Amino acid sequence: MPLGANKAAIMGVAGVSTEDVVLLADNSSDTTDLSSVTFSSGIDSTYSEYIFKFYNLNPATDGAFLTFQVNATDGADYNDSAITTSVFYNKHSEADDSTNLAYLTDHDHAQATTYINLITGIGSAADESAAGEMHLFDPASTTYVKHFYTNVNMVQGPAAGNSNFMVGGYINDTTAIDDINFKMNSGNFDGLIKMWGVK
């Protein structure tokens, strides 16, 4: 996404609007020792696309997975909407002795109502973290399923190196989605997550 006229919204504070990109919310008031980050307001028919950006997510548990799940307007416990995904990744070790490029069938989900993996194996050392973004399309639709894709990069632990995960999928629910939750599969984490609306 080019910055251009949208720079203020992309880099600014919640509620600042320039053109068609609006920063709606973030967890900047509390970025340490988080059990999860939830966006439970602002996801509605105002915007046709929502972008979630992850900044230096550092788990307490070495090798943790960043995951997410949603609630439809009639849900409250993050296990009612089935999600199907496909996962592709690439990696390169710091020692330059290991590389990989693969489709990860064992990380796919087929109609899963559990939390969905966005990236696995994030390092927990002080200089290790994950960063990236998720795009969610037309979550307020009551006609169609909800498509999304993610691109998340990390320093991998315990074997140091760069890994990049790309996940594509859809939330198989024709009820409007108005609530999303991000957490690690094990332990708490530090970091910042921001949510934008795109008209």
pLDDT tens profile 55-101: 999 999 999 999 999 999 877 789 889 999 999 999 998 889 889 99
Structure tokens at 38: 């939830």
Contact indicator for 161, 63 with CB cutoff of 8 Å: no
Q: Provide the phi-psi class of 149: left if phi over 0, else alpha when psi is between -120 and 50, else beta.
A: beta
Per DSSP bridges, beta strands 130-137 and 146-155 are antiparallel
Comparing 37-41, 142-146, 155-159, the range with the smallest average pLDDT is 155-159
Q: What is the pLDDT of residue 136?
A: 98
For 180-198, what is the mean pLDDT?
Answer: 98
Select from 133, 126, 120 the least CA-distant residue to 184. 120
Q: What is the value of pTM for the model shown? A: 0.88
Q: How far apart are CA 97 and CA 85, in angstroms?
A: 30
For 171-176, what is the mean pLDDT?
Answer: 96
- % residues pLDDT > 90 (the chain): 75
Judge whether residue 1 has pLDDT over 50: no
Judge whether residue 53 has pLDDT over 60: yes
Per-residue model confidence as pLDDT tens digits over 8-43: 445 555 555 556 899 999 999 999 999 999 999 999
Helix (H) or strand (E) holding 7: helix 7-11
Q: How far apart are CA 94 and CA 122, in angstroms?
A: 15
Q: How far apart are CA 78 and CA 70, in angstroms?
A: 5
